[in-house]
Structure 1
Amino acid sequence: MNKKWQLFILIEALLLLWLIYEAFSNIGTLAFIIIGAFILLRSKQVKRNSKQQTYLVIGGFLILMALLSTSAIWFMLICAILFFTTTGGNLFSKFHSLNFENVPWQEKDIIVVETTDSLPKDGKRFKRKWLGNERIGNTVYEWDDINFTVFMGDTIVDIGNTLLPKNESYVVIRKGFGKTRILVPAGIGIMVEHSAFKGKVNFEGETYALNNESVKLYSQQFDESSRKLKLITTVLIGDLEVISI
C-alpha cells in the first residue's frame, strides 16, 4: 500500500478514536446515537416498506445530527477532502508553505478591552446556532446581556473579552443536551441559578450533582462586588462549569 494512503488511514483511525471518545464523554450525543441505532434496528422488524423507510430516515437523521455535533467528524471530513483534492493525494506537502503564526491559540496572549461608542441595541437581530458547538466571545466585543436557546451542543461564553457595566448583567441559557462553560474575569460577583434533569455544576472548586433539581450559588465576594453577573441556565442533560480567569 502507498505510504500516503497508510498515513491517511492512520490519521483517520486516530480521529475515529477521538470521535468515539467525544461521543461517550457527551451524554446528549451518546443518547442520540443510541436512540438512532435502536430506531434503525427497529426498522428491520417492520414489514411495511413505507413505515420501514420512515424508521430509517428518522434513525439515520438522529445519528447524523449527533455525529455532526462533534469536532472529530469535521476534522475527518476536512482531512478526507484535502487528501483527495491535493495533487497525488499528498495531504501534507503544501502545509510547509503555510504561515502558522496566526493560529487561534496564538491570538490572545494579552487582551486589552477596546472601547467604542455604544451601538444601538433596540431592534437588534441575530441568530444563534440551534445545533452544534458554539463559542461566544472569541474577540473583543461590546457587552450585551446574553439570552438564547440551543437544542444540543457544547457552549463556551468568554466574558474575558468584554467589559461588564456596573451593577448587574445577565446570561440566560436554555439547552437540551450538552456542556456549558462560562469564563468570568476575577473580581466579578457571580450568581448561578442552574436547573438540570441530569448533570453537574462546577463552581468555585465545588461540584454539585443534580438529578431533576435546581441550585442557586453565590461567589464569596458577590455582595461587595461593583459588577455582578447572574447566570441563569437550564439543561435537560449536561454539565455547567463556571471558571474564573
Structure 2
Amino acid sequence: MKYSIVITTFDKRFDEFLVPLIRSIKQERNEAEIIVTANGSARAPFNEKYRAALLSFLASQHNCFPIIFPNFQSLAKMWNRGILTASQDRVLVLNDDLHIPAVNDGGFFAKFEDVLQRQPGTFKINGSFSHYVIDKSELIDVGFFDERLLGLGEEDGDFFWRFHEKFGREIPSVELPNIDNINSDISDDGYTKGIRTAAKFNRDYIKNVKYKEVLIGGYRGMFDKRVKKQVPDEMQYPYETFYREHKDLV
C-alpha cells in the first residue's frame, strides 16, 4: 500500500467508535498500516483498564501500532507524532468518530485509492479535516501542526492558512462516499471547552495571539474573517528532513 492510516482517539471512544472503525477498515484492507495515537486524560490518571483493553485489541489486529500519551496532549501533537511514525509518505488521517459502512462492491477504500492515484499532495475528504490525506513533504514545507495549540481545535484552520501562505493555493477537497462523520460530542472532561468539544485555550490563542483580524489584505481561509499572522512559527521536528534524506544509508 502507498499510504498509511493514523487514527486519534481516547478512552471514552474505545468501544463505541474505535473498535468498529478499525474492524471496518480491516474488513476492506487487512494489510493497511494503522497508527493509533491514544490520548491521556487532562485532569485524571491514565485509565489502566483502557490501556489494557486498547493494547489487547490492537495486538489482535494485523499491522496496527499504538502511540500512547500518559498525559493529555494537543490534537496537533497527536497528528504530528502519528504522521511521523507512519511508514508511508502519504497518510490518511482519521478521527475516531467515523463510520465506514460495509458494502459488497466499491467500498470507501476502493474509491479512495482511485482518487489517491489521481490527486497529488494533501487534500481534505468531503470538505472536512475529520478525514484528510497529508503529504509528508508538504507538511514539512508548510510546518507541522502547531503544538502551541495545547488542546483541541483550530489546528486545521491554522494549517490551512499557512498552506495558502506557503503555496499560494488552498488545500483541495475531494468527495468520497461510504464514510460518515458522526461528530460525537463525547470528550475529555478535564479541559475548558469553547465551542462544542474544542478547547477555549486554542480559540483564544488563535484569535487573540497568533492572528489579527484585518479589513484590508490578509486571508480568511477557514477562519471567521480575514486575518494576518502576528506570531511567527517556530520550526518543529527540524531533523525530519535529514532523516528522510539519509534513512536508507543506515
User: Same fold, TM exceeding 0.5?
Assistant: no
Give the number of the structure with larger relative contact order, counting CA–CA contacts within 8 Å between residues 6 or more apart. 2
Q: Larger % of strand: which?
A: 1
TM-score bucket of the superposed structures, by smaller chain: under 0.3
Q: Please tell me whether Structure 1 or Structure 2 has the larger radius of gyration of its CA atoms.
A: 1
